[in-house]
Amino acid sequence: MMHGFEASAAETGDLLGSVRRALRVLEAVAAGGDGITAKAVARRAGLTLPTTYRLLHTLVHEGYLVRLHQIHDECAAAAYFTVFRDEEIVVAEVVDSPSARRAEPLDVGFHQAPHATAFGKVMLSSLPAERRRDHLRQQGLPRLTERTITTLDVLEEDLARVRRSGVATEVGEFQGGLSCLAAPVFDAGGKVVGALATSIPVELFEQRHRQLGDAVRAGATRVSQLIGGTAQP
């Protein structure tokens, strides 16, 4: 019995280690932006080059981009994957769409205005209250459009709805004419480590928000399973 428990614990440790290494690679890619080399990713992530190549191959070619392209295809809209990097919420990957293009600022490495983006709300909602308030004090709640939430109490109510529903939405809060939906990605321990999102023009939101919500939830579940997590904590 004890021997079996030790084996299970070792397997769990290996899995969590792999997840951490994969996330370090994603964070290095997000920090370096487009055109970063595998050697630079390895150096930033503190990993060997062979390990980095293997993780990049899995994450980019077999995993995350596949899931992002599924969202892109199902929604005919841009798709985004965001991660935590230190104290910031950073866009790690974007798949653009010719029919419903991403907002121009929302590129790899973007880390501003989490209070006004759906993926930012997902990740803010997962933080402990004090850490979230510290983050928001540093970032501020700048008004980007007439719809942007700029009051902390109102934002906290919105984030509570995100936690209850498992999906975040914003309609014209980040950029006029743009709406966005996002769902959380979990690691093996049920901790939110990222968010999967899609954006469409506001005029299409009312008729398509149910379909888009289902698509981002399903996509986030697939990504969670990819890194050994579950759909819910």
Domains located in the chain, CATH noted? 2-226 (3.30.450.40)
Q: With bands split at pLDDT 50, 70 and 90, how would you rate the model's confidence at 18?
A: low
- Give the residue carrying structure tokens 């004419």: 177
How far is Cα 183 from Cα 213, in angstroms, rounded to an integer? 8
Q: What is the mean pLDDT of residues 68-90?
A: 75
pLDDT for res 231: 41
The residue type of 24 is: R
The DSSP letter of residue 101 is: P
Instruction: Please answer whether residues 75 and 99 qualify as being in contact, where contact means their C-beta atoms are separated by less than 8 angstroms.
Output: no
Please, is 60 exposed, middle or buried when counting C-beta atoms within 10 Å of its C-beta (0-12, 13-18, 19+)?
middle
Q: pTM for the complete prediction? A: 0.70
Instruction: Please answer whether residues 182 and 119 qualify as being in contact, where contact means their C-beta atoms are separated by less than 8 angstroms.
Output: yes
Distance between terminal CA atoms of the chain? 27
Strand, coil or helix: 162: helix
121-172 pLDDT, tens per residue?
999 999 999 999 999 988 899 999 999 999 999 999 999 999 999 999 999 9
